[in-house]
Amino acid sequence: MILTVTLNTALDLTYRVPALRPHASHRVTDVRERPGGKGLNVARVLAALGHEVTVTGFVGGPTGRAVQERLTAATGIVDALVPVTGTTRRTVAVVDARTGDTTQLNEPGPVIAPAEWSAFQEAYEGLLADADAVALCGSLPPGVPVGAYAVLVRRARAAGVPVLLDTSGEPLRRGVAARPDIVKPNATELAELTGSHEPPAAVQDARRRGARSVVASLGPGGLIAATPEGRWRAAPPARMHGNPAGAGDSVSAGLLSGLVERLPWPDRLARALALSAAAVLAPAAGEFDRAAYEELLGRVMVTPEATAA
């Protein structure tokens, strides 16, 4: 079983409009509603790849009930979310059908009481006993300590469970120091962590700060990875146009599935990048175009960093 943690779960709403114009009324042509938050997006992609997944994090209020109702219908996903008195947030993505660009609006999330944070940690330790790997993903809701991910990384390591961390800012800085197995920042998050805008140097710096392996998403530039086994770049065969929401979460799913399946790093990176590109073509986060994924997988170029262009 793979465990994904989404401390700031959400109900994701995706609106598609013919063209997004400031200060104008819009007719929505399509609406998608899904359980959201980075870890839930990762879980849906993992389940689609055939893995058994358990999801945990906080959930509450009417929005939280809607999230759980939709999870019940999801194949291959077990709901182990922890209830809180606050209300789960919503996120709204508005997709401009003309350009393919997406505008994202994210609510902050419920305030988590100290007793609720303690209850979550107890539940998390119990879930680790059956986990083959764990993903810690996304922002922290108000009330959760900024060092929360560092605590959760250490507990996973103590249980002998490999852990992937995908967050940003101070939670990322503290989490990296706890020595996660994989850290998956985007280019901006990597630069904020290391102070370097040169990805090859920055991924090496992030490893020195504690991460065993670092895989950075560079948008259209693909992926760059620094691991104990070597350094690689993965280049997409073409630039994809569509909804980028969830593309980074598909990278995390590809990396986690490859870890559990014990794939070599180049194969993990090829899978992660192909999933990311196929996710851009899907209508909502946590989904991917399977036909595109299978076609792209054989076309992703993964080269050792020493010889990459």
Q: Would you name the residues annotated as active-site residues?
A: 249
Please list the alpha-helical segments (H only) found in the chain.
Answer: 38-48, 61-72, 114-128, 148-158, 169-177, 187-194, 199-208, 247-260, 265-280, 290-297
Strands 30-36 and 10-17: antiparallel
Residues belonging to the chain: 309
Which two structure tokens, joined as six digits, stand for 232?
């690689």
Q: Which amino acid is at 196?
A: S
The residue to which tokens 């998956």 are assigned = 184
Rounded Cα distance between 305 and 199, Å, is: 11
CA angle 48, 213, 154 (to 5 degrees): 85
The 3-state DSSP class for residue 91 equals strand
What are the C-alpha distances in Å from 1 to residues 179, 255, 290?
22, 15, 22
DSSP for 117-131 reads: HHHHHHHHHHHHTT-
Rounded Cα distance between 130 and 56, Å, is: 13
Rounded Cα distance between 116 and 64, Å, is: 15
* Residues 6+ positions from 235 with CB-CB distance below 8 Å: 221, 222, 273, 300, 301, 302, 303
Strand partners of residue 54: 3, 78
